[in-house]
Copies of this chain bind each other. A is one copy, B any other.
Amino acid sequence: MKLSANEEYGLRCLVRIGYAGEGGSLTIPEMSQAEGVSPAYAAKILRVLRRGGFVKAARGKDGGYTLARPAEAIVIGDVMDVLGGRIFESSFCDSHAGQAPICTRSVDCSVRSLWRAVQVAVDQVLSKATLRDLLQNEEEMNTWVRTIPGAKGLHFIQ
């Protein structure tokens, strides 16, 4: 249950493109230098974002990447699904069922219930965040985070 490199870098790249604004665009070399990764790797990450429909690319001279939609129309939860999949896929329970009770027939399993609760908790945060929310500084973002309904416990974020 760690963030993958795809998720970390992917979201950062998307934020950088968002910062470029409406008309602005970012090239692979620019992204590479900004994130401190190789151009080839930046290209690979940006491809995932493009195929996910979050950014669009312009080829040729003066080309680059730009947002495919306004920042407020890009839900971070959707981005994360494309970059790194879901925490809990119920297919795991089907394919990894054991012999004895608990998970056997994938029915009546308290563990699965817990995984779903965790997934919902994460979705509550990520489905309410849009790229627009991330295009602000950390302090403003922390203020925003406190507005998430059902996330009262976040008050200890400074």
Contact = CB atoms under 8 A, between A and B. Distances in A.
Contacts of A84: 1-2
Contacts of A156: 120
Copies of the protein in its oligomer = 2
A134 B154 CA distance: 25
B134 A125 contact: no
Contacts of A150: 150-153
A88 B116 CA distance: 20
A39 B16 CA distance: 48
A35 B95 CA distance: 11
A114 B142 CA distance: 8
15 contacts: A1-B4, A1-B122, A2-B4, A2-B84, A3-B92, A8-B92, A12-B102, A33-B98, A34-B100, A36-B98, A108-B138, A110-B135, A113-B138, A113-B141, A121-B154
Interface of A: 1-4, 7-9, 11-12, 15-16, 19, 33-37, 76, 80, 84-89, 92, 96-100, 102-103, 107-118, 120-122, 124-126, 129, 133-142, 145, 148-154, 156-157
- Which 7 interchain pairs have the tightest Cβ spacing? A110-B141, A34-B100, A35-B98, A113-B141, A36-B98, A121-B121, A117-B145
